Every structure is written in structure tokens, then in C-alpha cells.
Structure 1
């Protein structure tokens, strides 16, 4: 009898609850019209998580989230859960949410430096995919400070420098990494690419400098060859320094403006027209 009574107590009215369905229909049962929609509300069967978790529409998911973010748990456990959550966002290519989640994990200030390093390198990867190269590089630097031999941090730092076209720094990252991981193919490939790009950039810089120098010389030669004059009413020519401002030239007492338009004569020194035009002319310097 005691055993029977104990069994009745343990059932907790389950038999009575189940008997109801012989005469009554379960109110919350899935129907043929809405079963797919209802399945999407069950965390285990969700294909994508909602943008915002509303306890009214997704009570099960809200409950799971509260468990995951329970502040009563140790910081290490909370940071690890946030790392895993961020990884799921990363897999879905939702890099902005991944960054927010990794950041939340770092704010837990857990004592497990391995978790902190992974949070930083994973956040660096998310920033990298969004094109935030400076932020990604900062995270790689921070991860390297915690664990100087962390391979992913070393690779990410080199990649960021490559994207920022700081090839010399990229080589430094690769060299530091290859000292610790001499056989890593990714670092070897990045080192070769960075060296090639650095040489190309230096070559382009030399070409640009030579071109600039040539253009400057041509400009100087042109300015030296060009001679400016204005003519007074007595047909006397006054030579004007090309570097002289227009205002200063117009303020000369022998310079006259006709019809509201100042006019100057431009000649190339040493040309045949120069010699022909100046023949018999009076010239003076300002």
C-alpha cells in the first residue's frame, strides 16, 4: 500500500492530466496550418534567432538567454558562454552582433587568459570581415600582449597591416610569428606577399618622386623661359616678373587697363618670335 501511495504521489496527477486528452483537445497543440511557424519558436528547431528576444513571443528562448547570462555564475563561465554565442553569430556572418558579444565577454574580466585571448582574436576577425582594420589590429596587438605565441593573433596582425598597406610592419609580425612557428605556411605566405608588396611600393614611391622632380624641373625651366610684358600708351614694354602678383603689376603707373580687361604679352625667351617682336622696341624692367 505504501508503495502504491508513493507511486501515486510521484505521478503528481499526470494520469489525471493525460486522461483529459481522451475527451478534450490539447489547446496548445500544433495545427496543420501553423506547425511550421510554431516550430520556429522552439529554440532547438530555430533556423535563425530573432533580432530581439521578446519573452512574450519567445518565452523559451528568453529563459535560455537568462540562464546563459546569469550573473551569479563565475566570470570565466560567463565569458566562455559569450565566446560560444559570439562564435555562432560569426558563423552566421552577423559580425556586428559577434563583436558586441565578444566585447560583453571581455567585460566579464575573467581570470582565464586563454579565454580572453580567444575573445580578442575572434573579435579581431569579426572587425576584419567588416573592414575595420584599425580595430582588428588593436585587438590582435592586445591578444599578442597576453599570449605572444598565439598563432591566430600573429596572423591577424600581419593581415591587418597588409590591408593597411603597412608592409614593413606586416613583415615584423610575420618574422615574430615565424620565430615561434617556423613551419607555419600561412605566416610564410604572408611574409612573402608582404615583402613583394613592400618592394613594389618602394619602387612606385621612387617612380613618383622621380616624376615629381622632373615636373618641378620642367616647371622651373618653363618659368625661366616665359617672359611677361605690358605695353604703355607710348608702346614701351615693361617686363614683369612672373612671380609678381597681378595687383602689384596693375598698380604700376604706366600700366593701363582698357575696357576693364588687363592685357599682357607673353613671350618665350630665345624664340624666333621673341627676337622678331622685340626688334626696335623699348623695354624696361619693373
Structure 2
């Protein structure tokens, strides 16, 4: 077994540094230990703030890709891979996206979500079959995630995706990373040594989660998946989300509870067309045509010149707002 990675000084990476600042944590009482971890967590948002420019560039790449019929694909190992899968899995219920639109790949396959797959992260070609199965190409964006920025699986995924013509992003927690160098856009959130040395599920994981949140949320906002800050594309698949859909339509229209319930019932529980119908008085067909003309954007449907949108009914039409 190889106990040393020749030619690489992993111990010099910020994410692997053993900090004397935390050398007495096993002696601390619980309240002080919790306060220490919390204080370190509080530094993560500031570290992310240093990377807003490349994060914005990544968002623009994703918006361009999704508008062109492409996909966003995360690829990572261990905690990084699980965070990518988590972010991808939250897009369908939040933004009513098809599950094939945002995809998370993890080294070792789905079993690695709950069980460590030994050595999977060390294979630079480990993602190639996964990328091939997806048919990754020029309309897609692949985001490699690795706290160290040198995980062979993640670097290999970005390298192969770029070879296939896809746009690529490298998300890591070390500056000057191999992952960043392999990608079109490098996002390198340097959070410093972990409270438990090398445990990148801590600050590094939090940073990666924040960045993934920003990439998908900002992309979906740009694509018209919200109206103002309302989650109008929410998929009302359970009681909580049905109640949320009702509250969203109420907030957007000011209609009373019975009007909102009837509109949601008419439009199959979908908040976006229910809102448009209540604001305009249009028929279900007119609402669907208007949203299609505006590429699904409620804001766009309301702002389109009147000549390109079917006129509201003479009877019962409501004001635009």
C-alpha cells in the first residue's frame, strides 16, 4: 500500500494543515468547543465572498447552457460528491425542473452516497463512463468539486468534460489548485485549516454547499423560475408544499383564499399559471400560451408587449400588475 503520494505535498494544502489554534479541542468543555466550531463556521461566508466574480461567471455559463438545452452536472468524491448530489436533488421540488437537468455524479456510484467506496476518488478516469452514459457535450456545464482541488476523480471529470466540448468549473478550497487549472472557471474558496485537521466536511463542506446553492439558485432566478423572490415553480408534491403554493399565489396576487384555491385547482396545483390567471383573467389556454411565449417566465409573460400575448377575456379580466 502506498502511504505517501510522491511528488505532491498534500500536507502543505490549507485544507490539510494541522493548526495549533485547535490543538486543545479535546480538552475543552462542551460549551467552549461548540463556540469554537461556530466561530470558525462564521468565517466561511467571508471566504465565499472573495469568489463572487468567478461564481457569477459560473452562473452565466449554467444559464447559457440550460437555455441551449444543456445540463448542469456536478462531479465529486466523498463529501464533495454528496454535496453535488444533494444540490441536484433539491432542484426538482424547488424549481420544478426535470431530474435530468441538474445531475450529481459521485465517485463509486450511488452506493458511495452512504458507504465509502475505497479508492474510487483516486481514479482519474472514474467519471468517464458516467459522462459517456450522459452523452456530455458542448451544451453542458460540468462542475468538479474537491476540497483539496487535486482529487483525481474530480480533475479527471473536468478534463474529460472539457475534451468533449463542455464548459467546466472547478470548485475547491485551495488556491492554485489542479482542479481550477483544468477548468474554464476556477472557484477557490480558501477557508483555512479545519477544527479537526483534514476533516473537509466542516468549513470546506459548508463553503461548497454555499457555492452550489448560489450556482443553482441564481441560475434558476435568471431563467425565470421565480417571480420576485417567490418560488413560483415549486412542485406541490406534499401537504407542506401545497400550503406553500397557496401562500405564494396569495402573496403574488392579493386574491382571497377561495380565489387562490380555485385557481390552483384549475391549473393542476401549479402556482405560476394560477398567478398569471388571477392577475390577468386569462383562460387556461391563454395562460399556457403566454408562458410558452415567455419561455416559462412569469415576469416575462406579464412584461411582454400586448401584441405578442393573447388578449384577456372581456368578461372577468383582471388588471396586470
Report the TM range for the smaller structure's normalisation: under 0.3
Q: What TM-score does the superposition give when structure 2 sets the normalisation length?
A: 0.22
Higher relative contact order (CA 8 A, sep 6+): 2
Larger Rg computed on CA atoms: 1
